[in-house]
A and B are shown apart, each in its own frame.
Chain A
Amino acid sequence: MFPLSVYATQAMHGIVSGMLLFLVASGLTLVFGMMGILNIAHAGFYMLGAYLAYSTVHATGHFWLSLLVAPIAVGAIGALVERFLLRRTHAFGHAYELLLTFGLFFMIGEAVRWIWGSNPLQVAVPAGLVGSIPFLGSQYPLYRLFILCVSALICLGMAAALLKTRVGIVIRSAVSDGEMVSALGVNTPLVSLGVFTVGSALAAVAGVIAAPFLQADPSMGAVILTDLFVVIVIGGFGSLLGALLASLMIGELQSFGILWFPEFALVFQFLLMAIVLIVRPQGLFGEKG
């Protein structure tokens, strides 16, 4: 067996990658809750974030600048997609909305290969976050702790915004009953546009902070996509709390799966997803079946 510190380190790794996953999943969950659309292109937005981080660092040498550039650029793309593409397909039914975002995801992946090439690109860890600090008897990389802090901060900020502000109240009520909210005089299409934009920007932020940790890789979209599906299904469609718990579960499952059963880590999460869909189709915290 392994010494105790290995378990502690693996558990921390699980929390870090779980929180990163949640950062991506949260935008997806909010959009699904509001509009009933599973935006597959969301995974592409995350990947774009990582590549924009690479290009920003490459062009200016400042990593921190990319935390501004990427969300703005990707948020703008998200807004255009919602306003001009998704609304068009709405009349054809959910299947075509799903197909549209699927096609967009595919296009983003190919565009990334086109612009940045097929090889993974390294993004340097920003100065000041290089190295490790002592942690429960072993060393833990500082940058991973940074990922944890950033995602936890965004998570708290989002919770505060949703629970305490007026906009948050409108969003939560639009999630639970969009028609009623719009009958009460709220411009729900505008709210949808806003949520979609912010969700896309959040995916880009996650991509930026993931870039020094995972590299910018043209397959990172497909990799996170399957994780996202699993998280959304296990947590329950549209439930943020569910997405948080499921993200942490998947993070730990992958982290310890690699430690104990390196061959079958991938199989486990699909098995878990299938079991949840069969036993509790609405997920842990979902409402509708």
Chain B
Amino acid sequence: MSLRSRALAVAALLALYALPGAIDVVRLRMAIEILYFGLFAVSFNLLFGYAGLLSFGHAATFGVGGYTVGLALKHIAGLPLLGALGIGALAGALGGLLIGFFCVRLRGTYFALLTLAFSQFLYAVALKWRTVTRGDDGLTVSVPDISLPGLGVLRMGQPAHFYWLALTVVLICLWAAWRFTRTPLGNAVLLMRENDERAAFLGYSVMSTKLIVFTVAATLAAVAGGLFASFQRLISPTSLDLPIGTEVVFMAVLGGTSSFLGPFIGATVYLLLQDWLSRTTDRWPFLLGLLFVLIVLYAHTGLTGLLGRDGPIRRLWARPQPEETA
């Protein structure tokens, strides 16, 4: 990494942490939502963009993370929030391992449907197991403050403090996910997306590699769900349902599935657009659906594909290059 890009990264990081000083509370709450939905979308794309596995049930582990954090904070006295998020991540990993064990053996449409079946199954359980989940009413989550020795207390009731917590957790998760995609294992995943028979011939274990990606994606989704539950202070069966599983697909495709941060950008644009549209017109879901269909039809590489180095917009502005002759 060059000195210039290092300096830029540090400046961007400082700017991100200084954000609460620059924007009002309403926008700050939006920024927090962008953080956890961004993480959720990136985790979805580890499956879709990297492994080529389209999941319609990615909400399953998002909800598992949310419920675990909520239940852990309720039933374990004195548990700090970070501990609860850790337990949530662990539950997400276990859930991912279990669901993935059955799902990764299938491909394409079959995979999409089985993931959907699991998330609908969990949805039905969350809806009906009232003694634990409180059913339709949802589980209220009481979030303890975090005391940082020598630095003071992060009060979770204050959006700025919650923002710092969420930013830190999300940055760590994104960094870990990015590192994961750069490992030899991460590269093997790309190979399997392109041709898993060949990967098997080369001696890779296709099933266990896919299972590892599925578990990693599930873990990150559970962390996102845990942040969601602690920010909303409520977790209900809708967190496991199709609309959330749909939104994450929208976000990832909108941002572009061929780059690591594309889905995060997609989540940002989606949430801002949804916020603006829903204040402008009652028909915003229809317009978002239309936008999604148009993107699939005309720009299936998403925003990052449109604006990226080889995208049509850059080419429009670029000086015409002399054609290479063979």
User: Chain A interface (Cβ within 8 Å of chain B)?
Assistant: 38, 85, 88-89, 92, 94-96, 98-100, 102-104, 106-107, 110-111, 114, 222, 226, 229-230, 232-233, 237, 263-264, 266-267, 270-271, 273-274, 277-278, 281
Contact = CB atoms under 8 A, between A and B. Distances in A.
A114 B297 contact: no
B283 interface: yes
B245 to A, nearest CB: 10
A92 B117 contact: no
Contact of A88 (B242, B283, B297): B297
A95 B54 contact: yes
A281 B107 CA distance: 10
B308 interface: no
Contacts, number: 98
A263 B130 CA distance: 11
B102 A277 contact: yes
Given A110-B285, A114-B283, A270-B124, A92 B293 contact: no
16 contacts: A89-B296, A89-B297, A95-B52, A95-B54, A99-B253, A106-B289, A107-B293, A110-B283, A110-B286, A233-B117, A263-B128, A267-B128, A270-B120, A273-B114, A274-B117, A278-B102
A282 B109 CA distance: 12
Interface in B270-304: 283, 285-286, 289-290, 292-293, 296-297, 300
Nearest to B52: A95
Contacts of B296: 89, 92, 96, 99-100, 103
A79 to B, nearest CB: 17
A98 B109 contact: yes
A100 B54 CA distance: 13
A180 B252 CA distance: 37
A140 B46 CA distance: 53
Contacts of B117: 229-230, 233, 270, 273-274, 277
A95 B108 contact: yes
Max chain B Cβ within 10 angstroms of own Cβ: one of A89, A92, A229, A237: A229
A237 B112 CA distance: 13
Contact of A95 (B48, B113, B246, B285): B48
B124 A104 contact: no
B124 A267 contact: yes
B198 interface: no
Given A264-B128, A267-B128, A100 B108 contact: no
B110 A94 contact: no
Interface string B38-71: 0000000000100010101000000000000000
A274 B114 CA distance: 7
Contacts of B109: 38, 94, 98, 237
Contacts of A232: 113
A99 B286 contact: no
Contacts of B52: 95
Contacts of B106: 277, 281
Contacts of B160: none
A274 B118 contact: yes
A103 B292 contact: yes
B286 A94 contact: no
Given A94-B108, A110-B283, A274 B121 contact: yes
B121 A270 contact: yes
Contacts of B242: 222
A96 B108 CA distance: 11
Nearest to A36: B109
Q: Which 4 A-B pairs have the closest CB atoms?
A: A110-B286, A107-B289, A103-B293, A106-B289
B13 interface: no
Contacts of B121: 267, 270-271, 274
B133 to A, nearest CB: 13
A69 to B, nearest CB: 23
Interface in B69-110: 102, 105-106, 108-110
A229 B246 contact: no
A85 B298 CA distance: 10
B114 A277 contact: yes
B212 interface: no
Given A222-B242, A281-B106, 15 more contacts: A85-B297, A89-B300, A94-B109, A95-B48, A110-B289, A114-B283, A230-B117, A233-B113, A237-B109, A263-B128, A264-B128, A267-B125, A270-B118, A270-B124, A274-B117
Given A89-B300, A110-B283, A114-B283, A99 B124 contact: no
A95 B308 CA distance: 22
Contact of B116 (A111, A114, A229, A264): A229
Contacts of B110: 233, 237, 277, 281
B300 A226 contact: no
Contact of A104 (B108, B293, B300): B293
A274 B101 CA distance: 12
A277 B293 contact: no
A233 B56 CA distance: 15
B266 to A, nearest CB: 13
Contacts of A274: 102, 114, 117-118, 121
